[in-house]
Amino acid sequence: MHAESQIREPLIIGKKTYRDISNDIIAPIEGKASKFWYILFTISVLAFMWGIGCLAYTIGVGVGAWGSNNGVDWAWDITNFVWWIGIGHAGTLISAVLLLFRQKWRMAINRSAEAMTIFAVLCAAIFVTLHTGRPWLDYMLFPLPNQFGSLWPNFNSPLLWDVFAVSTYATVSIVFWYIGLIPDFAMIRDRVIKPKMKMAYSLASFGWGGSARHWSRFEEVSLVLAGLSTPLVFSVHSIVSFDFATSVVPGWHTTIFPPYFVSGAVFSGFAMVLTLMIIVRKVYKLEAYLTVKHIEYMNIVIIVTGSIVGVAYLTELFVAWYSGVEWEQYAFLNRATGPLAWSYWAMMTCNVFSPQFFWFKKLRTSIAFTFVISIVINIGMWFERFVIIVPTLCRTYLPSTWNTYTPSFIDVGIFVGTIGMFFTLFLLYSRTFPVIAQAELKTILKASGQEHKELAAQHAHDDHH
């Protein structure tokens, strides 16, 4: 007797029809928001307002309001910038790379992940414009013809490449996200009754009719954009890492930075997608589409990227020891045992140790446990950026210049404000756009819906006998 192949678990649970999918996914847009949504929204807006106040104060008074000082001139601002850019990486990666690999499970998460990318890049942009100190002179970063002679006074600086990389990445992500939304807008356009909403959604859907020609063009464009954005995912974070790697500061001047930053970005991005999707799944009752299987697949990605990050940490330590350069060795010794050692061990615990629990199937399929670990990982990834920057700059070559860093009230306010901004935008998005790509979900209903899976299993069983 030959062994029967195991039929994969369905990606859409319950006996859903095409109409059910439309109804379930449009429900948050048509219906009234729940009390839970209003509570989350209020908290987010309050945090956002606090952040705006701190931003206004910084612009009025100057960067001296922050805790940065002569020794630690890069502190929370760059830490937060790298953290937000990292979170923005998962969205495009989920959409583009998994689209190129034809993974069906991306359909339930790609729309929200792409939106998350755009919001995270917007949060990161705040720190980029601010850490120059005088945001109203930031136009000098761009190639404007000006009276200073040359167009780009400092084209060799990775900070300038950052401007290009991040703006290209943001543009491609927005186009990718919007094109994916067109069929969904058309679905809403055909269903809403209020004339103003109908007008808005019909403008947004560009006259989409759902004909075969429309679909084939849609798929071609999606593939082209996926091909464009995949190298961008790798280049953007590599360039962010060059901000550090091209300097001569011990502990930064290493070649491992680009791959290590990219894997860390995917790691923190997937954790953030999990945090958001578990909330969305509960608030909008989308358990049938965001199944435990989806969460398990994402946890497997987290195991892989988390292990890569762990290997990178150990490689850094090994290379510091093997190089025989005492500055390099001291930089790592100081991270692990110096005055800010607690942040180093927090990073190690959150990023290397916590994802290893996902090797157990029981834990990686537990929603509550996944939710907790996803938040722990993002805290750990924030500490990783902090550890790279602050302890390294606190203890440089000259002991007479050693100092410490403590964030000011304004530093904390701006950071909390960006988190508030991120959640405010995400909550508003979830009430005006479909959170799940319903048009794409329908394409896999026959192949991955529970009812069809059960029928297939039944047929296989009958044929066997």
Question: Tens of pLDDT along 140-174?
Answer: 666 666 565 555 566 677 777 777 788 888 888 88
Mean pLDDT estimate for the chain: 79
Q: How far apart are alpha carbons 277 and 159 in whole angstroms?
A: 33
The answer to whether 387 and 347 have CB atoms below 8 angstroms apart is: yes
* pLDDT value of position 433: 78
Instruction: Check pLDDT > 50 for residue 3.
Output: no
Q: How far apart are alpha carbons 286 and 411 in whole angstroms?
A: 37
Q: What is the pLDDT of residues 15-62, one digit of tens each?
A: 666 677 667 777 766 667 778 888 888 998 999 999 889 888 888 887
Q: How far apart are alpha carbons 92 and 118 in whole angstroms?
A: 9
Higher-confidence residue: 241 or 7?
Answer: 241
The ranges assigned to domains in the chain are: 34-141+156-445
Domain 34-141+156-445 is found in CATH 1.20.1630.10: yes
Instruction: Check pLDDT > 70 for residue 7.
Output: no
Full-model pTM? 0.83
- Residue 393 CA, chain-centre distance (Å), reads 27
